[in-house]
Amino acid sequence: MNLTGKTFRAVSNSKNGNLNTETQMRFTSDDGIVVGVYSGGTITVGHVLAKRISELTMDMLYHGATKDGTHNAGKAHATFSQDNEGHVRMHLDWQWLTGDQSKGQSEWILVDSAT
């Protein structure tokens, strides 16, 4: 699945994460290296740089700034799947590289696939 032009909305996140269900991530490039931006809800702006591992997995590096002035960086392993209703989902197993370096998980759903 090529991610260029696809937008995902967060549907859940671990308590130690910064984003909420108003946060959206839009992928702008998927040509060997995947590039994306995220914002909304508690997030002012964030950037993603990822490397594909397979058609349905990738390793991500990200950094973002929250509306309360915090900025953090982390890494994640993304897995894509289709749920029983046919929606594309992105599951992230992530870890902060700054701050407490804790781990967590977030779930995202595809909301727009226009290119």
**Per-residue model confidence (pLDDT) at position 115:** 42
**Per-residue model confidence (pLDDT) at position 103:** 97
CATH 2.40.50 describes domain 7-112: no
Question: Cα 55 to the chain's mean position, in Å?
Answer: 16
The CA distance from 106 to 115, in Å, is 24
The CA distance from 101 to 41, in Å, is 23
The CA distance from 115 to 112, in Å, is 9
Q: For the chain, which residues make up each domain, given as ranges?
A: 7-112
Neighbours of 61 (CB within 10 A): 14
Per residue in 48-64, pLDDT tens?
A: 999 999 999 999 999 99
Q: Write out residues in the chain with pLDDT < 50, as ranges.
A: 115
Q: What pTM does this model have?
A: 0.93
**Per-residue model confidence (pLDDT) at position 113:** 57
